[in-house]
Structure 1
Amino acid sequence: MIENIIKKNQYKLFLIAYSGGMDSTVLLDYLCKIKKNHPQISIRAIHINHNIQIDSKKWQTHCVSVCKEYNIPLIIEKIDINITKNIEEQLRIERYNLIYKNLLHKEIILTGHHLNDQCETFFLSLKRGSGPTGLSAMSSETIFGQTKIVRPFLTKTKEEIKNWANLNKLKWIEDFTNFNTHYERNFIRHKILPVLEKKWPFFLKNCFRTTHICNEETILKNILLKEKIQQYLNFNECLNISSFKHLKEVLCKALIRYWICLKNVKKPSYNNIQRVYNEIIYSRKDSNLKVIVQKNEIRCYKKFLYFVTIRKDIKNLIIFWHNTENTLQLPNNLGYIKKNNQKGINLPKPKNSELINIRFQYAGKILIMGRQKRRNIKKIWQEHNIPPWLRNQIPLLFYNDQLISALGVFVINRTINYQDNTKPNQWYLSWINDIPINNGNHLLCK
């Protein structure tokens, strides 16, 4: 497999995830042998010291010694975070973060995962009740940022890799925690798979075939969904669900799941997707449901699904802008406000005695420019298609306690005439931000 990668890739840079164990040691030895026939390739290795075993330092020293023997540059990284739950998952995430940090441009990551690892991952997904995507387990190639992770041994059994190691008289370190069946993967490795292999010698191969079929089905489904979802995506990538009641439930949920996955977050659970379908799509009332996906929420407004970053509640915050010559930075990554010259939103200029301040909450009736009657501010938000979760994120300009403008949305109608550009009692403000709204524009006033 590596030979094929060398042939089809212009860039032949490889970074081996090297633990010092048998699998990654065989991978290192295998690649170094290939390099003898392909001297143009470049090989580096990276060792992640997890700092959770008393022998961690010995393992690191062993890896340094082996790479020196092979004349391969070795990067050493240490994990120094305190992990109290989901240890295996958190270590895996931190491990890949450190690998990504050290990647060169177009460098391909190689790992020593093999067929037994694949079957263990399949069983873990089965235990979690995963669908075809989860049951696909690991792919031979996975996109990783601007590069990819390649697992050249994924069709090889652990026994085959061990035979290579013994044949080439390789030395590796043994992590004895791999025998601790308290960990789920180790339980499957030592208690489940040996029994199944003894009963059915071809079980591992057949398990791999199942993961391969699930992967093909997932790829095909995503190709079809990618085309189908274009009918429902709005300008700012929110999902138009107005016609979802007329779709088959299975298609409806598949579109929602695919839409969430477009946001580059961890795949949502089956229960979350079912909640969105039952409580939003199929509900007869306008739902205020919030479904949490990592640090985001799925929200519904006017038959559109939004994927919203959870922001800090700032509705009671007041920010005073004493020196308007300076840019005013806003909280929650809401951008900034600055004074412009003949550019931006045209506003009445404050008196010298008035304190300019920014707030994020207002209730009651207001009279805005271009209107004859006062209306409740909630109705004004609705007219401008501002979803409820954004209304307390839009900066409201006040002079003392007098509301002047919701920047980028409306201006209060005051008795003073400031629309004449020759008058000195006006100024221009710009709120620069990156907040999309339902009409495809941004709340951006320049």
Structure 2
Amino acid sequence: MYLIKKIILKNKKNFFLIAYSGGIDSTVLLYKMIKIKKNYPKIQIRAIHINHNIQSSSNQWEEHCIEVCQHSHVPLILEKINTKFKKNVEEKLRIERYKIIFNHLMPDEILLTGHHLNDQCETLILSLKRGSGPTGLSGIYSERFFGQKKIVRPFLKIKKKELEQWANHKKIKWIEDFSNLNINYDRNFIRHKIIPILEKRWPFFLKNCSRTAMICSEETKLKNILLKEKIKNFINCDTSLNFSFFKNMKKEICTALIRYWISLKNIKMPSYKLIECIYNEIIFSKTDANPKIIIKKNEIRRYKNSLYFIKTQKNINNRLIFWHNQNKKLFLPNNLGYLIQNNKGFVLPAPKKNELINIRFQFEGKILIIGREKRRKIKKIWQECNIPPWLRTQIPLLFYNNHFISAIGVFVINREMYSRETEIQKKWIISWISDIEINSNNLFLFH
């Protein structure tokens, strides 16, 4: 109880949300907070229970939590996870659970969970199994911020046996989740088959696991402090990573910078093997290569001497969109925004009455653009305009019938290329409203 009081005094917060599963860990946490509240009446406690809908007794557990909270006069939030996962069930449920919890967490409220020393040791062994480095071996943090919201784990240095002794002494009822006995799950296998053997041989093993996690955590924090300063010299104004000088630097520093750069994207950190691939296969690939590495729904791409972290876009190369009514907005696929006729955008030759206006996203061959005397391959034009390969099929290409007129916002085709008419062409103005902008290097970017 001393640890919880210490947390309350340290954070100077009066609002707490308890992640309450009904199991022994969260139940002990709930009752200890109720007891502390009697001495600190200003404290406000809420609890949240997530029904995972994966056990036949899930609804009974929910009813138990309702009964306990009603009896203790603790407001309880009830939520359900209805999505059924087939792979990585534990990990996906955990992510979904935290999403729901953080949606309910108020700005001045601290989330409390019942993670204990055994959980820390299990996490450390799982990290070893995955081949994690110091970041993974940092284990579970006792305190951590997610944006502006804070999570605290007051039992992280306490063994589960101590929580069980306290619960039995106070004659507290809790839920036994018998799925925790299923050793087909890695964590349960470690819990029931590995840790008891290690503890029997070395009674101090759990505490040393905690110590190792703390050392790795401190080393990781120190490394990140140093990298935070160093990476300022490598990040461009568009948040890409400039690797121009990597050839003159030690590989260990380069890969550390790549890892830190990716960590700024708020995604799950990829493996060391993947970082090695980025270093070897992207940074040091041939200059005319167009390599990419996919990280879930994102891609690491190279353009010139920089790495770009971009969202994977659907292939729309074969899309054809007709713009029949130019008085209305024409919405584009892939969240690329829309085209609109106005007085502020790109000045273009107007179509004739019998010409069908259509938008495409791919063109191959030579073109003659306004301001040039000779045709050039469109690939060369894209390069001159600093358009990276992954954006070239995301820029709307304007056609009248089958005649290529313009890459909106980039260049206009010389109309004499396909028409010998000398009459003065009428003009119209089109704006492309999107999340793509041009930076100081004339490079198109997604935001």
- Residues in 1 aligned to 2:250 and 2:380: alpha-carbon distance in whole angstroms: 35
Aligned residues: 437
Instruction: Measure the CA separation in 2 of the matches of 1:413 and 1:11.
Output: 67
- TM-fit CA distance, 1:106: 2.9
Q: How does 1:156-235 map to 2 (within 5 A)?
A: 156-235=158-237
1:344 and 1:333 mapped to 2: Cα distance?
19
The yes-or-no answer on 1:350 pairing with 2:351 is yes
Structure 2 CA distance for aligned equivalents of residues 150 and 135 of structure 1: 19
The aligned residue for residue 131 of structure 1 is: 133
- Given that 1:279 and 1:287 are in contact with CA atoms closer than 8 Å, whether structure 2 keeps it comes out as no
Deviations 1:111-158 (A, max 9, x none): 100000000000000000000000001101122233021111101111
Please, which runs of 5 or more residues in structure 2 have no aligned partner?
418-423
- CA-to-aligned-CA distance 1:230-277 (integer Å, 9 cap, x gap): 111112111111211111011111111111111111101111111111
Query: C-alpha separation between the residues in 2 aligned to 1:432 and 1:2?
Result: 52
1:54-112 deviations in Å (ceiling 9; x for gaps)? 11111111100000111011111111112111111111111112212222233221110
Counterpart among 39, 42, 66 of residue 40 in structure 1: 42
Q: Distance in 1 between matches of 2:250 and 2:384?
A: 32
1:51-66 paired onto structure 2 within 5 Å? 51-66=53-68
Aligned pairs (5 A) from 1:40-439: 40-341=42-343, 343-415=344-416, 425-435=426-436, 439=440
Question: What CA distance in whole angstroms lies between the structure 2 residues aligned with 1:44 and 1:440?
Answer: 52
Q: Secondary structure at the match of 2:21?
A: coil
Q: Distance in 1 between matches of 2:352 and 2:259?
A: 53
| SS of 2:239 mapped into structure 1 | coil
TM-score relative to the length of structure 2: 0.94
* Shift in alpha-carbon separation, 1:227–1:281, aligned structure 2, 3 A: same
Question: Secondary structure, in 3 states, of the residue corresponding to 1:405?
Answer: strand
- Deviation, 1:29, is 0.7
SS of residue matched to 1:357: strand
Q: Secondary structure at the match of 1:43?
A: strand
Distance 1:59 1:399, change over 3 A: same
Cα shift readout 1:187-245 (whole Å, capped 9, x = no counterpart): 11111111111111111111100000000011111111111111111121111112111
The Cα shift of 1:439 comes to 4.3
Q: Secondary structure at the match of 1:344?
A: strand
Which letter maps to 2:363?
Y
Distance 1:348 1:443 in 2: 24
Question: Per-residue deviation at 1:426?
Answer: 1.2
Q: Given residue 249 of structure 1, which amino acid in structure 2 is its aligned partner?
A: K
Residue 389 of structure 1 and its aligned partner are, at CA, apart by 1.2
Contact kept, 8 Å, 1:320 with 1:355, in 2: the verdict is yes
- Decide whether aligned partners of structure 1 residues 440 and 11 sit closer, same or farther in structure 2, where only a CA change above 3 A counts: farther
Contact 2:322/2:356 (8 A) holds in 1: yes
Work out whether residues 233 and 239 of structure 1, in 8 Å CA contact, stay in contact via their aligned partners in 2.
Answer: yes
Cα shift readout 1:159-191 (whole Å, capped 9, x = no counterpart): 111122122221101111111211111111111
3-state DSSP class of the match of 2:151? Answer: strand
| SS of aligned partner of 2:436 | coil
- CA deviations 1:298-338 (Å, max 9, x no partner) are 11121211112111110110111111111111111111111
How far apart, in 2, do the equivalents of 1:77 and 1:43 lie?
18
* Aligned partner of residue 144 in structure 2, secondary structure: strand
C-alpha RMSD over aligned residues: 1.8
2:106 & 2:425 partners in 1: Cα distance? Answer: 57
Q: Secondary structure at the match of 1:230?
A: helix
Percentage identity across aligned positions?
Answer: 64
Question: What amino acid does structure 2 have at the position aligned with 1:428?
Answer: I
Contact 1:22 1:165 in 2 (8 A): yes
Cα distance in 1 between the residues matched to 2:62 and 2:200: 36
Deviates more, 1:269-278 or 1:102-111: 102-111
Q: Aligned partners of 1:334 and 1:407: how far apart in 2? A: 12
In the TM superposition, what whole-angstrom CA distance separates every residue of 1:324-383 from its partner, at most 9, and x where no partner exists?
A: 111111111111111112x11111121222111111011111111211211111000000
